[in-house]
Amino acid sequence: MKHIKKFNENALSDDDLHNLQVAVRKSIFTPPTEKIRINKIYLYVIIQLDGGKWATIDMNCNFEFWNTRFETIDNIDDDTTGFDQYVESWDDFLRDFSPVVILDFNPINFQEIEDVMQGFGLNIQNIWAVEQ
């Protein structure tokens, strides 16, 4: 609290004070949000790691490492995503599941996932996810 300075009420003219009050009334503020588990946001997450490795997080929060991108989509089934659908290729995955690139979709989620992964010495190249 020692860093809070007393505001000088006389610093604003009456007109400026009125304009400030109007601006505050018209402004829209972001409410605090509740933190939730990743599987409440995404059904399936594919993470491209440095060094050519891949990882996935499924709808049950199971985490697995893979050697190839194909293995990440070959893992898609009823147990991992709730969809009983075989995916032939990365292009089929993009077409059929319309994943989002998390860095573009929700950069905060990207940073949160990256922070967890870096805590284990893993660096991320990119993350795709199928939304709930």
Cα–Cα nearest to 69, from 126, 5, 30: 126
pLDDT at residue 3 greater than cutoff 50: no
pLDDT confidence of 2, banded at 50, 70, 90?
very low
* Predicted pLDDT of residue 50: 93
Cα–Cα nearest to 76, from 24, 128, 118: 128
Mean pLDDT taken over the chain = 83
Cα–Cα dist 89/92, whole Å: 5
Distances (CA, A) of 125 to 24, 71, 89: 41, 17, 20
Higher per-residue pLDDT: 80 or 18: 18
pTM recorded for the entire structure? 0.72
Cβ atoms of 128 and 99 within 8 Å: the answer is yes
Taking the CA atoms of 111, 116, 120 and 122 in sequence, report the sign of the dihedral they define.
negative
Cβ atoms of 68 and 77 within 8 Å: the answer is no
Cα–Cα dist 100/98, whole Å: 7
* Predicted pLDDT of residue 75: 77
pLDDT at residue 129 greater than cutoff 90: yes
